[in-house]
Structure 1
Amino acid sequence: MGIFDNLLGNASEVNIEKIEANLSNILTNGEHVDRAYSVFRDLFVFTNKRLILVDKQGVSGKKVEYHSVPYKSITHFSVETAGHFDMDSELKIWISSTATPISKQFGKNSNIHQVQQALATYVLN
């Protein structure tokens, strides 16, 4: 993925071995990374047990939030694709007992459908 794609927020699949090594301190016994997608500096990590949203914050990216969502807690999700005048796509994930969804922005040419398909695979199984 090029720097231009990064700046536009385009999602792309990333090397799962590298992500698994980086997340080794938060993965549980028997948990492994199945798929991972990068959007700018953030990650959507699909493991065999949960969805991990990795949000790198600040200029240096040293501050990191790891948001773990068990698949059974996801009640529904939606994808809004970009239009002619709306330059970005959006993914929303609702978690049980919360009224406000987790919302993530993607660039117009992002592969948001691939992320949505991965989410559907894990939530619906």
Structure 2
Amino acid sequence: MAFGMKDVLNGAKSVASSNLVQGVLNNYSEMSTEDMQREYGMYLMDGEEITVGFKLVRDALIFTNRRIIFTDKQGATGTKMRVESINLFSVVDVTMETAGFGFDDSELTFTYIKTADLKAHQVQYVSHKLEFPKKYNVQPLYKLLQELAYNNCLRINGLD
């Protein structure tokens, strides 16, 4: 399944003052795909490509053409790292909250099916909330995830 995030996010710019300041505020700052590839390329599957990536102090959020990857560097040195993947075909819902006046940040929450069999009788849903700097235009990412969620719901329910 192609995930044309690079094309959709071309115009979206992160205007964060610095990664450290945004990290302290729990906001993701956009990173170049080249930097993400250099640092996290060894975790990609064959044929998988990074389309957009974000950094939160030492942690990362990476969107590829197949999945969403979260990295969590742990310990004082950050040499221990946890990697979590969410398959794009399991995303079924997304909500967005844009930044308001003052210190409000933009938020994007997506829900996905954790159960391996998407048509199982006991389906487990999990949600992730992401916070972005006030000046980051989160709308293109919302639109892309919403289209993905819509198409996944159609496919899962045999309506496509």
What is the CA RMSD across the aligned residues, in angstroms?
2.9
Does the 8 Å contact 2:27/2:131 carry over to 1? Answer: no
Give the distance between the partners of 2:101 and 2:138, measured in 1 at CA.
17
Q: CA deviation at 1:65?
A: 2.3
Aligned to 1:64: 81
What residue number does 1:19 align with? Answer: 36
TM-score w.r.t. the length of structure 1 is 0.73
Write the deviation string for residues 27-75 of structure 1: whole angstroms up to 9, x where unpaired: 1111121211223433221112111122334444333222211111001
Deviation of residue 20 (structure 1)? 1.4
Where 2:42 maps in the other structure, the secondary structure is coil
* Structure that is richer in strand per residue: 1
Q: Which of 57, 63, 69 matches 1:46?
A: 63
Establish whether residue 106 from structure 1 lines up as the match of residue 132 from structure 2.
Answer: yes
Q: Flag as ranges the 4+ runs of structure 1 deviating above 4 A.
A: 120-125
Q: How many residues align?
A: 125
Flag the structure with larger Rg. 2
Q: 1:57 to 1:108 in 2, by over 3 A?
A: farther
Task: Give the TM-score, by structure 2 length.
Answer: 0.60
* Percent of aligned pairs with the same amino acid: 29
Q: What residue ranges of structure 2 are gaps of 5+ in the alignment?
A: 1-15, 114-122, 152-160
